[in-house]
Amino acid sequence: MDANPAQPQDPPIRKSKFQIFLLIGLIAILIIVVILDVLSFMGKINLKKSSVIEQRIIYAIPKGDDYLSDLEIFSVKLDGTDKKLIKAVTKEELASLNSRIWHFYDSLILRGENEPIAFIDNQGNDLSSKYNKNNTEFGYNLDFAEPTLSPDGKKIAFILNGDKGYGSGLKTCSGGSCSINIRDVKTNEIETVEVKFDTWSYNELLIIGWTEDQKFLIGTGCQTTSCTLNGFEVNGTWALDLKTKDVKEYGLGGSPPFILHGRESFVYLSLDKKCSADFRVPTNCMLKLVDLDTNDEKTVAYNPDVKPTILRYMPKTDELYILEFNISGDDKKSNQLQSHLKLLSLDSEEVLTSELEPIFSSDTIYDVSVDGNYVIYGERGEDRKNIFKTKNLETGEVATIHEGTVQYLGLLPESTKRINFLTF
């Protein structure tokens, strides 16, 4: 017998199967890489940058005592670090209106008299080619009627009131009707939806934004020719169904609506008998929730003495950050208002907001971050000088951003979720 018998060998068929599976896997990976490369080339996806852009605070420091002075515009992280000068601009360059600087989702637009002088992101990078700054909706002084971008980033809706559209070739508001222009960002083509409105009501007519499913445009304005209460002009909230072109109006006398992204709903402040009035001036005190799917409407909360301000919606908890003002404690002596930040659940019904405990109070509260972790605020120092700060509501950490006069310009991007849509 052989003392060293031959060791058994793997059957050739087993090796060949392994090689075949390996080859198939390599081919599949190659196909995926090619597809991603083609989609990137076509602009369908963006492989070169993150789909979520970090939210940063944008603020301006005036270089003189006058509001319309030269400005230095800064960007800073929510924790107060990485402060950057992103733009310096002279007062001669800017439009004289209050709408001379405003944010457009991931962009900060600095308005000149006839066209934007800058279109930048929160790092100071030029974005003028992304949205085409020469388009009418960016070039005209539109007062309060600013354009609004759809959640998928593909369309811009805007209104041109009266002669502000002169020379643009676009339809405007006149004769009791108003044309809502919807521009395709990629092709630049415009669809016009004509609706009946009285455009001479308070603040005229403006679009607030799109619902997340893009079925509705939500705005404010007066749909009839007799929108008055006790002799004062008042507005209503309207919802335009983009499929049927029907318009439904809610809450005559209501404040501009606040759209709740993450659910097909919006909230607004409406007049009610419980609202107090000073010299017959209408006061909005009832916070209403409208469900566009069911068309149901309910009163979530109210405050007959103070008109609350809606700052931020938190989809994960279905809560609103609201802001209320009052004079309390030692401030009664100096007649100085205090700002109180509160959380309100949208499951509530007819809650008296004055009974809600503030989660934060300061002399001035500007905003709350998208994730709800940071509050952006100002307080007076011992020398009465304003101190611009942020506070982490989870850890309690406070960061001082600037001591002195500032103009808070907002958070860029407005919503990291919306910017996620824009990159695909």
Compute the Cα dihedral for 90, 93, 97, 103 and give only its sign.
negative
- The pLDDT score that the predictor gives to residue 118 is 87
DSSP per position, 46-58? --SS-SSPPPEEE
- Going through 222-331 in order, the beta strands assigned E by DSSP cover 228-229, 232-233, 236-241, 247-250, 258-260, 265-270, 286-291, 297-302, 309-314, 319-326
Q: To which H or E segment does residue 102 belong?
A: strand 101-104
Q: Residues 224-250: pLDDT tens digits?
A: 544 555 555 566 788 889 999 888 878
Per residue in 8-48, pLDDT (tens digit) is 555 555 556 667 777 787 787 778 766 665 554 444 444 44
Confidence of residue 173 (pLDDT cuts 50, 70, 90): low
From 235-239, 327-331, 346-350, the region with the lowest mean pLDDT: 327-331
Q: Quote the pTM value.
A: 0.79
**First CA to last CA across the chain, in angstroms?**
72
Other Cβ atoms less than 10 A from the Cβ of 354: the count is: 16
The SS3 call for residue 241 is strand
Please provide the size of the chain in residues.
424
pLDDT band of 120, cuts 50, 70, 90: very high
Contact 119, 412 (CB under 8 A): no
Give the pairing type, strands 297-302 and 351-352: parallel
**Encoded amino acid at 339, one letter:** S
Q: What is the structure's pLDDT at 390?
A: 97
Share of the chain above pLDDT 70, in %: 70
Vertex 82 angle, CA 79 and 88, to 5°: 120
Instruction: Tell me how far apart the alpha carbons of residues 284 and 220 are, in angstroms, rounded to a whole number.
Output: 14
pLDDT in tens, 352-394: 998 999 999 999 999 999 999 999 999 988 877 889 999 999 9
As a whole number, the mean pLDDT across the chain is: 78
For range 179-202, the mean pLDDT: 76
The span from the CA of 368 to the CA of 410, in Å, is 10
